[in-house]
């Protein structure tokens, strides 16, 4: 007899959250960064710090591809797996047509799902990998994301050689890459829930003002997580957002407070944390690698954080749309990780 979908127990909670019946395990991870990130307050927690941003390649784009290659290889090595053990590779980056991920997928030869959620891609990749594993469509999945300050700056704004002035609310794209291996079983943190965000547009047109543009999407997803799971901030050790920076994280906290939820005791933002005030990054870090290297390299390795919400945010504009004066649509995806 064929079981109807309506007869099966739903894994969806509330508006947009999914509870995994068999929570996938993050069995290994790796992070690599550029020199600026390496001399920041969390540099010692990253697996590899390059001495420069070109890392022996002919272009910044090739350097970014090399970073992802190194992160992926190191994550598989630490997990004691090879390409033959991986069922699916999910990856994304900031460059047009996600070329960093595409070229790495070409070398790996693993069935590939290319993703684009801008800076939310890290959580999006883990969320989708968890769904595939929980649904028994895969036993092991490999995820990766990357960003490079110089490649992203000349695509979205100006070449770094231009020397343009940056407003105080702007952020510095993180140079780095992170990768993780998720498995049906194993030792490591468990991904217990995933929350899919929706695209939001609050009328921001300034491509420098990413924190303000993305904060409403982050707040919406975070409130949905609490409501869908019937939990409060007291149920978690940490709530971390991806890259809202110093300005955007304050807006996010205020928006959530307006809904009657106080996250101040557990809240941190990767973009606000990854650099310090002496590094001339204005509002902090951004980019796909920001949430990736901070989450995998630091937050998930701290024993004091046993139950964590990670919400990564993304600005979904393109160089064409903002030059044509369009608003900047944004999104935020969330996961709950438990040790």
- pLDDT category at 185 given cuts 50, 70, 90 is very high
Domain residue limits, the chain? 21-183, 190-338
**Stretch 127-145: mean pLDDT:** 98
CATH architecture assigned to 190-338: 3-Layer(aba) Sandwich (3.40)
| Residue 160: its H or E element | none
- pLDDT category at 327 given cuts 50, 70, 90 is confident
**Stretch 124-133: mean pLDDT:** 98
**Stretch 35-44: mean pLDDT:** 94
pLDDT over 80 at 175, yes or no: yes
Task: Encode pLDDT of 196-243 as tens digits.
Answer: 999 999 887 777 777 788 999 999 999 999 999 999 999 999 999 999
**Stretch 314-319: mean pLDDT:** 83
Task: Encode pLDDT of 103-119 as tens digits.
Answer: 999 999 999 999 999 98
| pLDDT for position 326 | 85
- Residues 139 and 130 sit within 8 Å (Cβ to Cβ): no
Would 21-183 and 190-338 be classified into the same CATH topology?
yes
CATH of 21-183, one of 3.40.47.40, 1.10.287.1080, 2.60.120.470, 3.90.1150.10: 3.40.47.40
CA 41 vs CA 2, 33, 37, 108, 273: distances in Å: 56, 13, 8, 33, 8
Does the CA dihedral 220-313-144-291 come out positive or negative? negative
**Stretch 36-61: mean pLDDT:** 94
Percent of the chain's residues with pLDDT above 90: 74
């Amino acid at each position: 007899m064929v079981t109807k979908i309506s007869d099966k127990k739903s894994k969806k909670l509330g508006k947009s959250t999914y509870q995994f019946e068999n929570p996938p395990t993050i069995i290994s991870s790796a992070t690599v960064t550029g020199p600026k990130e390496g001399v920041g307050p969390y540099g010692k927690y990253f697996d590899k710090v390059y001495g420069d941003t070109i890392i022996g390649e002919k272009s910044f784009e090739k350097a970014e591809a090399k970073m992802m290659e190194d992160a992926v290889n190191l994550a598989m090595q630490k997990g004691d797996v090879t390409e033959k053990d991986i069922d699916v590779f999910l990856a994304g980056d900031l460059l047009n047509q996600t070329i960093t991920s595409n070229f790495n997928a070409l070398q790996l030869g693993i069935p590939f799902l290319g993703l684009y959620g801008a800076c939310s891609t890290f959580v999006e990749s883990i969320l989708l990998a968890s769904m595939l594993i929980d649904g028994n469509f895969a036993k092991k999945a490999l995820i990766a994301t990357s960003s490079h300050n110089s490649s992203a700056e000349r695509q979205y704004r100006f070449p770094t050689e231009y020397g343009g002035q940056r407003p105080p609310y702007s952020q510095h794209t993180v140079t780095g890459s992170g990768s993780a291996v998720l498995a049906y079983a194993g030792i490591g943190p468990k991904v217990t829930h995933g929350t899919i965000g929706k695209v939001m547009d609050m009328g921001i047109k300034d491509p420098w003002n990413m924190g303000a543009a993305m904060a409403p999407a982050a707040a919406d997803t975070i409130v949905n997580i609490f409501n869908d799971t019937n939990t409060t901030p007291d149920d978690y050790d940490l709530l971390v957002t991806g890259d809202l920076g110093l300005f955007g994280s304050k807006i996010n906290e205020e928006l959530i407070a307006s809904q009657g939820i106080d996250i101040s005791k557990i809240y941190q933002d990767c973009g606000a944390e990854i650099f310090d005030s002496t590094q001339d990054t204005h509002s902090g870090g951004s980019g796909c690698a920001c949430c990736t290297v901070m989450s995998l390299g630091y937050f998930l390795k701290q024993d004091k954080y046993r139950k964590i919400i990670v919400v990564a945010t993304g600005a979904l504009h393109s160089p064409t749309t903002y030059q044509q004066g369009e608003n900047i649509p944004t999104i935020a995806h969330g996961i709950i990780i438990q040790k």
